Structure 1
Amino acid sequence: MTETVVETKTYPISFGDYRARAISLGAGLHVLERIVDGQWLQLTETYDPASKPPLGSGMTLAPWPNRIRDGKFEFGGTSHQLDITEPAANNAIHGLVRRRNWDLVEHSEARVEQSIEVGQHPGWPYALRLTVTHELGDNGLTVTHTATNEGSEAAPFGLGVHPFIRVGDVPNADCTLEIAATSYLPLDPTRNLPDGPPQPVAGTENDFTTPRSLAGVWLDTPFTGLVPDASGIARHVLRAPDGSATALWSDAAFGWVQVFTAYPERGKPYLNRDLALAVEPMTCPPDAFNSGLDVVVLEPGKTWSGSWGVTGE
């Protein structure tokens, strides 16, 4: 049965060769398209906006991305117990704002800004305000996130996003993938939690520093050691056989990227796609509130900001 989302709003934007829609649920990216030879081609997966986003497609994951073991963490000498939102693995997953409708701040032809108060929740006493801005320009889509600590005590923070990319109608299994990362984090396959420290990708099945075919590749893997290009951004590229490509980039605020392949035969279908590919910018890895790895500590009154985007080639 399809799960209906109540009062979800979509916000279309356009600029030059690009058009996109942001969505109020989770301040998500609903779709990004580029016109090529008179045809609009999808650079991201999409779905019926009246339904639940499949596999969290496009959602903003905050104030932590991914999972927290047993929903427990300690910060500033205080122990916290979050609600368990992944019962099968006994984890708290993907933060507190992805299943809520965000407030519209501003919507113009090429830009939409949304915001939300995270609010007080079991195990989460910190007063954070988040914003997400989707903006189109000559180079495609730029998404900028901010988090402001409006409370009186320091707060831990992490953020991730869950976009699925594609190159028009080309099957992903016919494409190559290049990931600008030198290390990966091993995960326990049962709970998708860290199973040791980051390891070099060199010489492993997780080495995508040069383009590799996606056919038959199974990934649900956090990567780090991201390698920036000359402009200071890390670029991960999905390329079709004819040379056309979709690139997802992130700035230095995002030190991690989780790459996930969705296959129906693995029990993770993305609607009617034989293979869907999520390339997920993250500021920190799974269970970071316990490991402390790359957790942002927001002091009262301070604001964090980071950007990522998608472009067609």
Structure 2
Amino acid sequence: MNDPVAATGRQFEIVHGAARAVVTEVGAALRSYDVDGVAYSETYDADERPPGGAGAVLVPWPNRVADGTWTLEREPQQLALTEPERHNAIHGLLRHTAWTVVEHAESTIVLHAMVPAQPGWPVPLLTSIGYALDDAGLTVTHTVENLGKRAVPFGVGVHPYPRAGLAETDDCTLRLAAATVLPVDPERLLPVRPPRALEGDEQDFRRGRRLAGVLLDTAFGGAVPAPGDSLVRHSLTDPSGHGVELWADPVFKWVQVYTNDEFPGRGRAVAIEPMTCPPDALNSGTDLITLAPGEDWIAQWGLRPF
């Protein structure tokens, strides 16, 4: 008799020196990342469904689509309402798909998945995600290729839960390279007004804020590299000044931050989710990427302990 398959499918390990990461077959999610046995990403058991979207790859859109409806070249599209309690489609089409491993070496892995033409998404896409460990940390590479016969807009996001080693989340300081915040309806978490510039108020994390007492399920925009830098950088730092940096290519102009008070085995945790576009971008058009037939796109982000 075959052993039962974990809820997240097969588990793929990569290692580099003292660093180790585990990626799942279902969803191609980052299930764990640690160095010298110290976790820099919240983890969960292989037999659990990823809690709070942990590690999810959000393609061909991140976050929410209001009522699951959008329009492509004046043709109405209706996506499945995968967040029925809010009447939204959420986090793309690949969270529950078994991805195919196309490369797997000691410190690297690449997985592919197809977004087939389907109700609500009429243009097929080929997607891949690569995870690589080296001395600098973990690098994640996304590609998307348009296999259809017409151009299509899309977005990409991911849902990691960075962890500042052994420190409690409430003792950590969050810093975001974000200059705006997106006002949303508190019930449906959909945009209700344009982004608002941050001016040193309680939602401005550019200089860092301790997370004790902070509740967020919030989209921040205007994330750009610092002068002289080429990457967007967010971080979570413990009281001693050590922690983890989440860096991203400049195309990741948005970041969703979600404080999860019930992460299994951990309690309070924080998701820092780089996104190329904001919630409901398929309707607003804000920062969507458009791929012509046969065209592909590539971008990276990563985690760096310090």
TM tier, smaller: over 0.9
State whether residues 253 and 307 of structure 1, in contact with CA within 8 Å, keep that contact through their aligned partners in structure 2: no
For 2:235, the equivalent position in structure 1 comes to 237
Distance (Å, rounded) in 2 between the aligned partners of 1:122 and 1:190: 27
User: Once the 2 structures are TM-superposed, how far is the Cα of residue 121 of structure 1 from its aligned partner?
Assistant: 2.2
State whether residues 41 and 167 of structure 1, in contact with CA within 8 Å, keep that contact through their aligned partners in structure 2: no
Question: Structure 1 residues 212 and 6 mapped into 2: Cα distance closer, same or farther (>3 Å)?
Answer: closer
Distance (Å, rounded) in 1 between the aligned partners of 2:267 and 2:99: 32
Distance (Å, rounded) in 2 between the aligned partners of 1:7 and 1:25: 5
Distance (Å, rounded) in 2 between the aligned partners of 1:97 and 1:262: 22
Equivalence map 1:259-298=2 (5 Å): 259-263=257-261, 269-298=262-291
For 1:53, the equivalent position in structure 2 comes to 50
User: Once the 2 structures are TM-superposed, how far is the Cα of residue 155 of structure 1 from its aligned partner?
Assistant: 1.1
State whether residues 103 and 116 of structure 1, in contact with CA within 8 Å, keep that contact through their aligned partners in structure 2: yes
For 1:173, the equivalent position in structure 2 comes to 170
State whether residues 146 and 304 of structure 1, in contact with CA within 8 Å, keep that contact through their aligned partners in structure 2: yes
Question: Structure 1 residues 5 and 154 mapped into 2: Cα distance closer, same or farther (>3 Å)?
Answer: farther
User: Once the 2 structures are TM-superposed, how far is the Cα of residue 90 of structure 1 from its aligned partner?
Assistant: 0.4
Question: Structure 1 residues 156 and 227 mapped into 2: Cα distance closer, same or farther (>3 Å)?
Answer: closer
User: Once the 2 structures are TM-superposed, how far is the Cα of residue 52 of structure 1 from its aligned partner?
Assistant: 0.5
The structure 1 residue matched to 2:251, chosen from 247, 250, 253, is 253
For 1:25, the equivalent position in structure 2 comes to 26
State whether residues 7 and 46 of structure 2, in contact with CA within 8 Å, keep that contact through their aligned partners in structure 1: no
For 1:103, the equivalent position in structure 2 comes to 100
Question: Structure 1 residues 158 and 7 mapped into 2: Cα distance closer, same or farther (>3 Å)?
Answer: closer
Distance (Å, rounded) in 2 between the aligned partners of 1:108 and 1:280: 27
Distance (Å, rounded) in 1 between the aligned partners of 2:215 and 2:70: 30
Equivalence map 1:1-313=2 (5 Å): 6=7, 8-35=9-36, 40-229=37-226, 230-263=228-261, 269-313=262-306
State whether residues 25 and 59 of structure 1, in contact with CA within 8 Å, keep that contact through their aligned partners in structure 2: no
Aligned partner of residue 194 in structure 2, secondary structure: coil
Tell me the alpha carbon deviations over residues 210-241 of structure 1, each in whole angstroms, 9 at most, x when there is no partner: 02110010111111111314331111111111
User: Once the 2 structures are TM-superposed, how far is the Cα of residue 6 of structure 1 from its aligned partner?
Assistant: 4.8
Q: Which runs of 5+ in 1 are unaligned?
A: 264-268
One-letter identity of the residue aligned with 1:241 = P
Q: Which runs of 5+ in 2 are unaligned?
A: none
User: Once the 2 structures are TM-superposed, how far is the Cα of residue 5 of structure 1 from its aligned partner?
Assistant: 5.0
Distance (Å, rounded) in 2 between the aligned partners of 1:253 and 1:262: 26
Tell me the alpha carbon deviations over residues 11-39 of structure 1, each in whole angstroms, 9 at most, x when there is no partner: 1111134211111111110111112xxxx
Aligned partner of residue 221 in structure 1, secondary structure: strand
One-letter identity of the residue aligned with 1:131 = S
State whether residues 253 and 305 of structure 1, in contact with CA within 8 Å, keep that contact through their aligned partners in structure 2: no
Distance (Å, rounded) in 1 between the aligned partners of 2:34 and 2:265: 19
One-letter identity of the residue aligned with 1:61 = L
Percent sequence identity is 45
Distance (Å, rounded) in 2 between the aligned partners of 1:127 and 1:70: 22
Instruction: State TM-score, norm by structure 2.
Output: 0.96
Moved more, 102-111 or 219-228: 219-228
User: Once the 2 structures are TM-superposed, how far is the Cα of residue 51 of structure 1 from its aligned partner?
Assistant: 1.8
One-letter identity of the residue aligned with 1:294 = D
Moved more, 165-174 or 105-114: 165-174
State whether residues 235 and 249 of structure 1, in contact with CA within 8 Å, keep that contact through their aligned partners in structure 2: yes
One-letter identity of the residue aligned with 1:312 = P
Distance (Å, rounded) in 2 between the aligned partners of 1:44 and 1:312: 10
Instruction: State TM-score, norm by structure 1.
Output: 0.93
User: Once the 2 structures are TM-superposed, how far is the Cα of residue 115 of structure 1 from its aligned partner?
Assistant: 0.3
State whether residues 33 and 41 of structure 2, in contact with CA within 8 Å, keep that contact through their aligned partners in structure 1: yes
Aligned partner of residue 271 in structure 2, secondary structure: strand
State whether residues 221 and 258 of structure 1, in contact with CA within 8 Å, keep that contact through their aligned partners in structure 2: yes
For 1:266, the equivalent position in structure 2 comes to none
One-letter identity of the residue aligned with 1:9 = R
